């Protein structure tokens, strides 16, 4: 019942947003001030606000869009990783995921990452939405997917810099992990919570 109310609210909110007449900010000019491609560019934007005010030095971050996947196996287990990340203290749990390559569709990237990182395929995919990572500064777009009935077909062939351990969690174990903040990166915690509402 709780999940149904949350989902119904989100659908009403989405329909309301489609009719939103909110005035938007406008980018008047942009200047590249740092280029560390392919992972980061920083631009200085000149931005016009709806009230006529102009911001001369609006910082804008350009990072690659990425896809994350919540994976449910044919045995009903949630496939996640335990790994270390440079910006995270200690270890963290993590979903499948990675950067979307140039010209690649988000779903294709999600399927590629699933195969590369785990050696699994999944016949059933559900789009959990796309989300701006930073409301004002850019920093890429997150594309979230739920993959059901995943099964192994090959050995993993990931190119990640960090070591990682593949784990298979029950729903109760995943709920407990989310409740204690074990997914220490915001998009990861978000996608796991979304998936629990939908799965």
What band does 1 get if pLDDT is binned at 50, 70 and 90? very low
Residues 30, 59: Cα–Cα separation, whole Å: 10
Domains and CATH numbers, the chain: 22-62 (no CATH), 66-198 (3.90.79.10)
> Residue 130's beta-bridge partner residues?
143
Integer angstrom CA distances of residue 21 from 2, 9, 49: 31, 20, 15
Instruction: Kindly tell me if the per-residue pLDDT of 154 is higher than 90.
Output: yes
Total residues found in the chain within this entry: 199
Instruction: Kindly tell me if the per-residue pLDDT of 4 is higher than 60.
Output: no
What is the rounded average pLDDT for all residues in the chain?
91
Instruction: Kindly tell me if the per-residue pLDDT of 8 is higher than 70.
Output: no
What band does 162 get if pLDDT is binned at 50, 70 and 90? confident
Q: Cis check for the bond before 38: say yes or no (omega within 30 of 0).
A: yes
Instruction: Kindly tell me if the per-residue pLDDT of 166 is higher than 60.
Output: yes
Burial of 51 (0-12, 13-18, 19+ CB in 10 A): exposed
């Amino acid at each position: 019942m709780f999940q149904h109310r949350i989902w119904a609210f989100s659908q009403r909110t989405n329909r309301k947003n489609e009719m939103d007449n909110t005035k938007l900010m406008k980018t008047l000019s942009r200047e590249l001030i740092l280029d560390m491609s392919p992972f980061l560019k920083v631009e200085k934007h000149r931005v016009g606000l709806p009230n006529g005010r102009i911001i001369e030095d609006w910082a804008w971050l350009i990072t690659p869009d990425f896809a994350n996947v919540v994976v449910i196996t044919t045995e009903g287990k949630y496939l996640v990783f335990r790994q270390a990340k440079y910006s995270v203290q200690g270890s963290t749990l993590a979903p499948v995921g990675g950067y979307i390559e140039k010209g690649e569709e988000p779903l294709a990237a999600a399927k590629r990452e699933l195969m590369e990182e785990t050696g699994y395929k999944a016949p059933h995919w559900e789009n959990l939405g796309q989300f701006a990572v930073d409301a004002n500064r850019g920093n890429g777009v997150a594309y979230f997917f739920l993959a059901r009935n995943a099964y192994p077909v090959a050995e993993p062939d990931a190119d990640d810099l960090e070591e990682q351990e593949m784990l298979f969690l029950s729903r109760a174990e995943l709920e407990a992990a989310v409740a204690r903040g074990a997914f220490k990166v915001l998009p990861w915690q978000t996608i796991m919570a979304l998936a629990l509402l939908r799965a």
